Amino acid sequence: MAVRLATKRAAFGPEGVMDRRGFEDRALPHLRALYGLALRLTGDASAAEDLVQETYLKGLQAFVTLRDPDRVRPWLFQILSRLVIDRRRASGREVPLEPPGDVDRFSLYDRIADEDPLPYSDKLHEDFLARFRDEDVRRALVRIPEAYRVPLVLVYVEGLSYRELADLLGCPIGTVMSRLHRGRKALERELWDCALLRGFIKGEKS
Partner 1 sequence: MSATNCEDAQRRFFAYLDRALADEDVEALEAHLEACLECCDRLEFSRRLDSFVRSRLGEASLPPGLEERVHRALAVVAPPSEEP
Instruction: Give residues in contact with partner 1 (CB under 8 A).
Output: 8-9, 12, 16-20, 23-24, 28, 31-32, 35-36, 39-40, 45, 49, 52-53, 56-57, 60-61, 63-64, 108-109, 125-126, 129, 132, 134, 136-138, 141, 155-157, 161-162, 173, 177, 180-181, 184, 187-188
**Angle between helices 72-91 and 45-62 in degrees, nearest 10:** 120
Q: Is 112:155 a contact under the CB 8 Å cutoff?
A: no
CB of 152 to partner 1, least distance (A): 9
CB of 80 to partner 1, least distance (A): 13
Q: Is 55:82 a contact under the CB 8 Å cutoff?
A: no
CB of 105 to partner 1, least distance (A): 11
Number of Cβ within a 10 Å radius of residue 110: 11
CB closer to partner 1 out of 93 and 193: 193
- Measured CA to CA, the distance from residue 83 to residue 85 in angstroms comes to 6
Q: What is the 3-state secondary structure (H, E, C) of 98-148?
A: CCHHHHHCCCHHHHHHHHCCCCCCCCHHHHHHHCCCHHHHHHHHHHCCHHH
CB closer to partner 1 out of 20 and 89: 20
CB closer to partner 1 out of 89 and 125: 125
CB of 4 to partner 1, least distance (A): 11
CB closer to partner 1 out of 94 and 161: 161
